[in-house]
A and B are shown apart, each in its own frame.
Chain A
């Protein structure tokens, strides 16, 4: 099949003229979006601007009222659901913890798209679950009920579940909420490692400095539209912070990483 250079998206995951409405309110209008292959893309923007909405549409959890999401050049709506689930993983912002579930069981549920209707857990499934528990540093919590964990431990179990889905594209909605600073860094380092190993990672983050430090591609949103997209070094400017958040700020160089560091101005 000839790729269509005129209108076909260049990257594996992209959206064209995406319009998304909840009951009667249109939240995202005619959005064009490109997730560069092999990137660590970070979505930033104020509360309620539509970051989660876009992420959910990219994972086909939400049906857009207009436009299309493309996965590998094909409209995602027409692809078999299991194929999509093996290619794109989504960790929602507020997942529901089932009653009485242990950490290991939760993580094992990430293997669902890899199992047949009758097939139980394979040795491969078990290996992946173990690896994901290890990677998120919760191996010793495996047998504990989720209900008895701290918020941060629970969040890491959810990340492990998303990892266990073992997809080449991974969408994480605010993976660092509830985590202490050290564990935030752990999760971002883990994302960076996954990205280095060849995966495409998309994350919503609220900490602009972390976004600037870890992202290879930054997308800034406001009111359901994209304000700017590109490498953090050139994209994250004082102007952008003002436009996106109405926040006067200075940008200096992060002495540790050389990436932009956002310093909000003191209100007088």
Chain B
């Protein structure tokens, strides 16, 4: 009996650790492969050194950090909305970031730093707007948040379409590439920014795992167990949005990483709860792998990484949901 209890609890604790280790190995392996280690051993020209230090290395590091940030944020959203389709997009995140970026490109001149900053502001502002509209009497029900988010996203989508029709061709192309998500503009300052955001925001979110687990059991039980649900909702939403917005300011709102990685993680760990750390690690793997594919899938032609994650992640998610549907889950 006692053995059974222990088995019931520990069986589900060993897998996440294995999955985590597997992800780290995989992420580092792909990252190393992306760095084209072959060239390190041959004599490098100074141009090669420049490419390696200033283009390749920051690009891989940004892929790892942004993938982990977006995925962790997605896992937090799925937990907070108690909805398997949760992601920062629930708060109109992509549309808000796109509005910001479009304003940056068309109105503010389109410098990289300006676009990143205005996209960040757009994403955070639209999320705050959705939260404030959905909040009523100090309470923000999960479904209400999702519904208000859909409405605000639709409105911002209209604004975006208008801005694109007003833009000249090259501005529109720059904005479209940004919205799809791309690692082309990766710089060391971007790496520092993402690393700082991760170092500040990830630990408290990961510490909130236990509270999120209780939160998932529904408002009544969570409050009954002493959880201050509205405080958790507000602080975790804010941290997750800022984390995702910072990642997106460097890469664009790379499609599906936030939505998809937590599902892959859950599928691998088979653990209950928000699965935050495995999700972040899966996200990192997903984005470096997608970037590697984006560069080498079609010879001499580089795809935007967001197109690859969209194709891969979207396809896998459809497969996963269809399968779970058949086995009666969800």
User: Which residues of A pack against B, CB within 8 Å?
Assistant: 56, 59-61, 81-82, 84-86, 88-90, 92, 95-96, 98-105, 108-110, 112-113, 115, 117-118, 121, 126, 129-130, 133-134, 139-140, 142-144, 147, 165
Contacts and interface: CB of A to CB of B under 8 A. Distances in A.
Interface string B5-23: 1111101100000000000
Contact of B217 (A85, A98, A129, A143): A98
Nearest to A111: B225
B214 interface: yes
Contact of B8 (A90, A112, A117, A142): A142
Interface string B263-278: 0001000111100000
B224 A90 contact: yes
Pairs of residues from A and B, 7 with the lowest C-beta to C-beta distance, nearest first: A85-B226, A104-B8, A143-B8, A101-B272, A96-B218, A90-B224, A92-B220
A96 to B, nearest CB: 4
A81 B228 contact: yes
A81 B272 contact: no
B221 A139 contact: no
B106 to A, nearest CB: 43
Nearest to B224: A90
A103 B329 CA distance: 17
Contacts of A144: 8
A61 B223 contact: yes
Contact of B271 (A100, A113, A118, A139): A100
A112 B218 contact: no
Given A96-B216, A142-B1, A108 B9 contact: yes
Contacts of B270: 100
29 contacts: A61-B223, A82-B226, A86-B226, A90-B220, A90-B221, A90-B224, A92-B220, A95-B217, A95-B218, A96-B216, A96-B221, A98-B213, A99-B266, A99-B272, A100-B271, A101-B272, A104-B4, A105-B272, A112-B226, A113-B226, A117-B210, A121-B9, A130-B2, A133-B5, A139-B1, A140-B4, A142-B5, A143-B8, A165-B225
Pick from A88, A100, A118 the residue with the most CB of B within 10 Å.
A100
B7 A143 contact: yes
B82 interface: yes
Given A109-B213, A130-B1, A60 B8 contact: no
B223 A142 contact: no
Contacts of A98: 213, 216-217, 272-273
A129 B227 contact: no
A102 B13 CA distance: 12
Nearest to B267: A100
A105 B8 contact: yes
Nearest to B220: A92
A121 B6 CA distance: 11
A133 B9 CA distance: 13
Interface in B144-186: none
A61 B224 contact: yes
A155 B276 CA distance: 29
Nearest to B215: A98
Contacts of B272: 98-102, 105
Contacts of B207: 117-118
Contacts of B4: 104, 139-140, 142-143
B210 to A, nearest CB: 7
A165 B214 CA distance: 13
A61 B226 CA distance: 10
A99 to B, nearest CB: 6
Nearest to B226: A85
Contacts of A112: 210, 214, 225-227
Nearest to B274: A98
Contacts of A85: 224-226
A30 to B, nearest CB: 21
